[in-house]
Amino acid sequence: MKKRGQVEIIGLMIIVIILSLALLFVIKVVFTKKNPDVSQNYQTNTLVEAFVNTLFQTSSGCTTDTTIQDLLVDCAKNPFSSGTIMCSDGRSSCQYANETIAYILQQTIDKWGFQNTGYEFVAVAPPNQQIVYYGSGNLSASLAGETTPFTLRLYPSQQYLHVYLCIGGCGLT
């Protein structure tokens, strides 16, 4: 009689253990399942391209007819003299481009929740001279999906200015 009771208790324990394992499995599958966030992926992929293209077209405010692209090209052509364009407020094209791009990034991407992944904006002029740099958030370089640079031809030379906007870090340094 005593032995039968013990067997029953062992049976009950086995049932309880199986149920607990099943419950844990369900919790793990349902709550920890990482769904591919379609919107977030799309936003990240289109953000970089749209951001840089928009930035190039934007009126700089340096002079009445210069865009940010003009400032970057001028700065890239003369990186050691901080550019030839002198803005209406006395700043050089390099300084103006740096400060304006930093301001735009702070007002947009910084506010859009990219602090966790971090990002870098880098403009590299020949011969490998960083003329603009802005980094924000936790830079891991692990999410640097967009490391293909945007290029601007530095006419009349055959050289190019490379512009990077990397979510997660460019890992250039």
Partner 1 sequence: MQTKIRTKKAQKAQLKTGETIIVLIIFFILLAGGMIFYAKIQKYTTSQKKQETAAVDAISIEQRIRHMTEIPCSIDGTIIFDCYDLEKIKGLQKTIPDYMLYYNSVIFKNSKVTITSVYPVAEEILLFDAETREISTGTQPYRTPVTLYDPLTNMYSFGYITIEVFTS
- Binding positions for partner 1, rule: CB under 8 A: 23, 26, 30-31, 35, 37-40, 42-43, 46-47, 50-51, 53-55, 57-61, 67, 100, 103-104, 107-108, 112
* Residue 24: both structure tokens together: 């844990």
Q: Which residue number, 53 or 115, has a Cβ lying nearer to partner 1?
A: 53
Minimum gap (Å) between residue 135 Cβ and partner 1: 19
Minimum gap (Å) between residue 3 Cβ and partner 1: 19
Q: Which residue number, 93 or 100, has a Cβ lying nearer to partner 1?
A: 100
How far does Cα 46 stand from its chain's mean position?
A: 11
**At CB < 8 A and 24+ separation, what contacts does 147-155 make?**
147/171, 149/124, 150/52, 150/53, 150/56, 152/56, 152/69, 152/72, 152/73, 152/76, 154/73, 154/76, 154/77, 154/125, 154/126
Q: Which residue number, 79 or 132, has a Cβ lying nearer to partner 1?
A: 132
Q: Which residue number, 38 or 128, has a Cβ lying nearer to partner 1?
A: 38
Minimum gap (Å) between residue 65 Cβ and partner 1: 9
Cα 97 to Cα 32: distance, rounded to the nearest angstrom? 44
Is residue 120 within 8 Å of residue 135, measured between CB atoms?
yes
Minimum gap (Å) between residue 23 Cβ and partner 1: 8
